[in-house]
Each structure stands twice: as C-alpha cells, then as structure tokens.
Amino acid sequence: MKALLLAGAAALLLAAPASAQTMDHSMHGMNMPGMQMPAKPAARKAPARAAVKKSPTRKSKPRRDAPAPKTDPHAGHAMSAMPGMDMGGAHADHDMGGMQAGASAPAQDPHAGHDMSSMPGMDMGGGHAGHDMTAMQGAAEKVGTDLPPGDAPAPAAQPGMAAGRFWGEDRMAMANHHLRQHHGGMTYRQVLFNLAEYQARKGGDGYRWDGDAWIGGDVDRLALKSEGEGAFGQRLEHGEVQALYSHALDPYWNVQGGVRQDFGRGPSRTYATVGIEGLAPYWFDTQASVFLSTEGEVLGRVEGWYDQRITNFWVLQPRVEANLSAQDVRETGTGSGLTDLELGLRLRYEKSRRLAPYVGVSWERQFGDTARYTRARGDDTAGFSFVAGIRAWF
C-alpha cells in the first residue's frame, strides 16, 4: 500500500509536467477550426475576400495579354505581373500562368482548388538563386532593396562601449550594467491570498486561508506558501508554512523545493518538500507536492483551480485539493491513502483584480483511516460550508 501510494504521489508529480509537454503538442490531433485540410478541393473561404479586393483577375478567364520575353525559358507563362520573381530553372516547365494572370487551365488543374494565398513563405528559388530572371521584368535592373543579400560573415562583437571615450570607460560600463539590470533583470515580489475566508457551517463557524508570497526574478524566486483552517473559539486546527526555492522550468511550470512546518492541533511536523506548480493547458492552475517528514513519513498533495470568467468582472472558481499519505500516522491522525478532499466553488467580483470579494461553497471530506481517527476523536469527517472571503494580492 505504501509503495503504491508513493508511486501514486510520484505519478502525480510527473503527471502535470508531462501533460504540459504533451499538451504543447495538443494541436496535433486536434481538429483545428478553420484549419481543416480536406482531401478534395476546398471551398475558398476567407482569402477570397482579400483576393477579390486586390486581384480582380483571380477568377477571370485565362489572360495572356502580357507577352513573355522571347528569351524567357518560361515562355508562355504569364508572369508579367511578377517582376523579378526568382523561379529557378528547374521550374522551367511550370505553367505559372495561373499566378496572378489568371488560371491557364483551371478546369484540368488538379490543384485548381489550391489557393496558395496563404503560403507566402513559398520560395520557388531556394536552390536556384543563381538564376537571373530579370528578363521577366522586361528591362529594369534590380536595385536597392530588390537585390538579394550576400553571404558575408558577420563581424565579431568587440569589448567595451563606444561612448567610453567620451564619458569614461568605467562610467559607461557601470551605466550599461545598470541598464541591463533594469531591462529584464529586475526583482519583483507578490503576496497573494487565493483564499481568505469565513466559513459558516454546522457545529461552529471557522476560517480558512491559502496563499503564497514570492520575491525574485522571472526564473528564480523564493516563495512562501501557507494554508490552514480552524474554528472560531478553538485552537487552530491545522496550519502550515512552506519556504521554497522556485525555479521556472519552461513557459508555464515551476519546480519548487524547500521545507514545510506544520502547526496547530496535534504534534507539529517538519517536512522536506518538492513539487511543481504552473499553468496546465486550458488554463488550469495546478500544484502537486510531496512531503517527507523528519519522522520519515511521506505525504502528498495536489491542488488545482480554474477561473471561469462569467463576465469580465464575475469569475467562478472551482477548486480542488486532495491530500495523500503513504502511511498511517497515528499521532497526527492521518491514515494511509487519500486522507481528505476539499471541493470549492467560489464566485468573485473582480471590479478590482487585487481585492476581489467572493462568496461560495466548500465541501470537505476525510477518507479511510484518517476518517476513522477523526471519528474516534468524536469530530466530523465531512462538512459543508458557505464561505465568504476576499481574494487579494499586492
């Protein structure tokens, strides 16, 4: 059982980044609207408008009123409208008449339905750069920006600042260092309470918080996380603080490691922790962590929420948090397996993004041996609360 749970916790940890990776490619199998590629000639939709606007000849009859230059190996191609086009000799047998000058024989053309409008990246000249097609322009020589670039090597960067000789090398070096630091290297900090709420429930109202704070740059940060709950008039039921180092793995995910200290009812525990947090595809905020206590106990947690914008001011946040244990821990009243699950649904009003009041419901339930321990103490193992609080950051 223990092994199974550990494996489960590990899988949790791995699942999120793995899904992140796979979802990066999620478009592969997806049916992308507007991007279907039918096997038969597709109806020309969107580009038709643009095409019609600027290319009146698009659907007109074949038009070969532009005589090709006599020496042109592409004789017969109506290329008049394509000055300077570098088609390359290998394409000499292409009938390009359909390009711009109207399709030469659209009816017989298996590619007639092939609107290349969207393929400006197409270069017929990739390996044919040597071909001089200026003849196709009639007479004009290529000049200025029409000329292709050469392949001269780039120079090497030199040390020092050019302005050093005016204002002093050291001064400029220092100023440049300062400039760089202030263009991408700044330090930021944030304190965020996703939950800070009053919980109205049977058998005594309580409170709940879940938040974090961080300081650092884009990639490396120090983070504090804290969550906990309790009932008014009683000792704190459960509280914890994590101190973490956070490192950005990729555009969306951070890996975090550090320590967790529990406080509240029962014996306090200290854990080493490692986890990941980030934004999963479809905009799910996700966290998954494992904890190893100084007593050798292993716990796990996974947490996720989603901000569903009803309007641009009203946001509905479904949230789930599940805790796991790899073993029975009698002292803390924790049983192995899924120990507890918390489901919440909160509606907040984001007139201010930084101070958004909310109301909602929260449902908690303990499972397995954890529930047994709790019942033995005479406490409830499940509960339903109406909640009201404030999501805030600064």
- 189-208 positions binding other proteins, by CB under 8 A: 190
Stretch that binds other proteins, among 177-185, 223-231, 295-303, 322-330 (CB under 8 A): 177-185
- Give φ, ψ of 134 to 5 degrees: -60, -25
- Least spacing, CB of residue 43 vs other proteins, in Å: 8
- Least spacing, CB of residue 328 vs other proteins, in Å: 40
Q: Quick one: 34 or 233, whose CB is closer to other proteins? A: 34
- Least spacing, CB of residue 322 vs other proteins, in Å: 23
- Taking every pair of Cα atoms in the chain, the longest distance, rounded to a whole number of angstroms, is 101
Residue 138 in the binding site for other proteins (CB under 8 A):
no
Residue 61 in the binding site for other proteins (CB under 8 A):
no
Residue 363 in the binding site for other proteins (CB under 8 A):
no
Q: Which one-letter amino acid corresponds to residue 362?
A: S
DSSP 60: S
Contacting other proteins within 240-259 (CB under 8 A): 248-252
Residue 116 in the binding site for other proteins (CB under 8 A):
yes
What is the three-state SS of 323-345? EEECCCECCCCECCEEEEEEEEE
Of the candidate residues 215, 353, 375, 382, the single one contacting other proteins (CB under 8 A): 353
Please give the Cα distance from 215 to 367 (Å, whole number).
Answer: 37
Please give the Cα distance from 142 to 159 (Å, whole number).
Answer: 38
Q: Quick one: 2 or 177, whose CB is closer to other proteins? A: 177
- Least spacing, CB of residue 330 vs other proteins, in Å: 43
Q: Which one-letter amino acid corresponds to residue 143?
A: V
Residue 41 in the binding site for other proteins (CB under 8 A):
yes
Of the candidate residues 71, 145, 203, 378, the single one contacting other proteins (CB under 8 A): 145
Residue 230 in the binding site for other proteins (CB under 8 A):
no
Locate 63 and state its tokens: 């038009």
Residue 146 in the binding site for other proteins (CB under 8 A):
yes
- Least spacing, CB of residue 363 vs other proteins, in Å: 23
Q: Quick one: 167 or 232, whose CB is closer to other proteins? A: 167
Handedness of CA 290, 263, 246, 258 (dihedral sign): negative
Stretch that binds other proteins, among 63-71, 166-174, 198-206, 330-338 (CB under 8 A): 166-174
Of the candidate residues 3, 65, 139, 183, the single one contacting other proteins (CB under 8 A): 183
Nearest to 131 by CA among 210, 211, 72: 72
DSSP 3-58: HHHHHHHHHHHHHHHHHHHHHHTTTSSS--TT----SSPPPP-HHHHHHHHH-TTT
Adjacent-strand bridge partners of 197: 208, 389
Q: Quick one: 10 or 50, whose CB is closer to other proteins? A: 50
Beta strands, E only, the chain: 188-201, 206-216, 220-231, 238-248, 253-264, 270-280, 284-293, 298-306, 308-309, 314-325, 337-349, 355-366, 382-393
